[in-house]
A and B are shown apart, each in its own frame.
Chain A
Amino acid sequence: MRLARQGNEDAYRQVLGRVSLWLRSVVRREMVAAGRSAADCEDVVQETLLAMHLKRDTWDDTQPLEPWLRAIARHKLVDHLRRRGYRDHVSIDDQAECLEAATDPDADARTDSRRLLESLPDRQRRIVEEISIEGRRAAEVAVRFGMSEGAVRVTLHRALRALAALYRKGQS
């Protein structure tokens, strides 16, 4: 994480990958413990990753990383559970069924992020898709869209912040 702070992309990718593995197990356990379906597990993982990314300035790098991560995950999980309210109550039979399909990290079409992405302004949505789903670099996207690389990054950042705000509003 310290390396990632210095702008080391590979280090950051690795950190996020490891954190998402860890988050998936924590979130899944907590949601089952709360008597909820684990079907939205990946949504919470993604929302937490996004929050962790946008709020990474709040990590004091003289302190261990884990309590900070835990605190963010807890905050987001509580938010999520509150938002979903009773709508999410499922019987235990349903849960058992969900558990297998639910925590699939490759789930795509059903995730909140997919749906929320659709409600972003067109340009923001397309830039996020180009970079995340198509795996293009910001510089390539800039050429394709006839924008400067800086403008692509600014748009990307705005899109991520907008996504976080949409999660918060609970439009999911």
Chain B
Amino acid sequence: MKTANLIEALVADRAAQGRPLARGLVGALVAGAAASLALFLVEFGVRADIAEALVTWRFEVKLAMVFLALGLAYSLCVTLSRPVASGRVAWRLAPLAALAVAVVAIELAVLPTAAWVARLVGSNAVVCLTTIPLLAIAPLAAVLWFLRRGAPASPALAGAAAGLLAATAGASLYAFHCFDDSPLFVVTWYVLAALPVIALGAILGRRLLRW
């Protein structure tokens, strides 16, 4: 086929003009998160003392961290789904790391040393490690499915970003269930819970996001 002929075929095809990538990704994320929300409400539910928790600084900081992570992961995911390789994208997560370091420092300062380990281990570590990945499954599927429309410079990296986005969506829900609010707990276990989801995203992305 001549190139000029191919061009005629491309001009006649208008179907690929969908929503811009950034907006479509929000839709996919919301759809996946809705499935996880249903699972969350049926199986876990919001913690009983939510009203009191809302006015404690630890809970508020926890929410700030998971929502900041969600936002940063989203922006990372959009960038990494584009063909133009972008250097040093990991720096985008710097605000989150800075916030984490700051609140951990505050927590260590206000807590007596004897209480550190108890706060770190908390009482929900295993629940946290299983629930966040569980709540991330539907968002991961939805986001990866949508990102097949993307053209990532590196499919594995884009997949990892999708995994991070899904994990932060799962963590955003889980944060309302878990009553371990100490930054020591959150920074440790939430991050550990996100790692397998990121790895899974990278593995699946390598296969699914090639273009």
Q: Which positions in A face B, CB cutoff 8 Å?
A: 5, 7, 9, 12-13, 16-17, 20, 42, 45-46, 49-51, 53-60, 63, 67-68, 71-72, 75, 105-108, 111, 113-114, 117, 128, 131-133, 135, 137-138, 153-154, 156-157, 160, 164, 168
Contact yes or no, A58 B9, CB < 8 A: no
**For residue A7, which residues in chain B have a CB less than 8 angstroms away from its CB?**
14, 17
Total interface residues on B, using CB and 8 Å? 33
**For residue B14, which residues in chain A have a CB less than 8 angstroms away from its CB?**
7, 153
Question: How many residue-residue contacts, CB under 8 A, span A and B?
Answer: 123
Query: Is the contact region of chain A dominated by helix, strand, or loop, or is it mixed?
Result: helix
Would you list which residues of chain B between 19 and 44 have a CB under 8 Å from chain A?
19-21, 24
Contact yes or no, B3 A58, CB < 8 A: no
**For residue A68, which residues in chain B have a CB less than 8 angstroms away from its CB?**
82-84
Given contacts A51-B211, A54-B16, A56-B17, contact A20 B151 (CB under 8 A): no
**For residue A12, which residues in chain B have a CB less than 8 angstroms away from its CB?**
10-11
Contact yes or no, A58 B151, CB < 8 A: yes
Q: Can you list 26 A-B pairs with a CB-CB distance of less than 8 A?
A: A9-B11, A16-B11, A46-B1, A46-B6, A53-B16, A54-B16, A55-B150, A57-B18, A57-B21, A68-B82, A68-B84, A72-B83, A72-B151, A75-B153, A105-B4, A106-B4, A113-B6, A132-B6, A133-B2, A133-B5, A135-B5, A138-B12, A153-B12, A156-B12, A156-B15, A160-B10
Contact yes or no, A157 B1, CB < 8 A: no
Given contacts A54-B16, A153-B15, A168-B211, contact A71 B9 (CB under 8 A): no
Query: Shortest distance in angstroms between A155's beta carbon and chain B's nearest beta carbon?
Result: 10
Contact yes or no, A49 B7, CB < 8 A: yes
Contact yes or no, A132 B82, CB < 8 A: no
| Cα distance A168–B209 in the bound complex, in angstroms | 12
The 5 closest A-B pairs by CB, nearest first: A157-B15, A71-B83, A132-B5, A55-B151, A132-B9
**For residue B12, which residues in chain A have a CB less than 8 angstroms away from its CB?**
131, 137-138, 153, 156
Contact yes or no, B1 A133, CB < 8 A: yes
Chain B minimum-CB-distance residue to A165: B211
Contact yes or no, B11 A60, CB < 8 A: no
Contact yes or no, B6 A49, CB < 8 A: yes
Chain B minimum-CB-distance residue to A17: B7
Q: Which positions in B face A, CB cutoff 8 Å?
A: 1-21, 24, 81-85, 149-151, 153, 210-211
Besides the contacts A55-B211, A160-B13, what 15 more A-B pairs have beta carbons closer than 8 Å? A17-B7, A50-B6, A55-B150, A57-B17, A57-B24, A58-B83, A71-B84, A72-B151, A106-B2, A132-B6, A133-B5, A153-B13, A153-B14, A153-B15, A157-B15
Query: Shortest distance in angstroms between A22's beta carbon and chain B's nearest beta carbon?
Result: 12
Contact yes or no, B7 A20, CB < 8 A: yes
Tell me which of A132, A137, A164 has the highest count of chain B C-beta atoms within 10 A of its own C-beta: A132
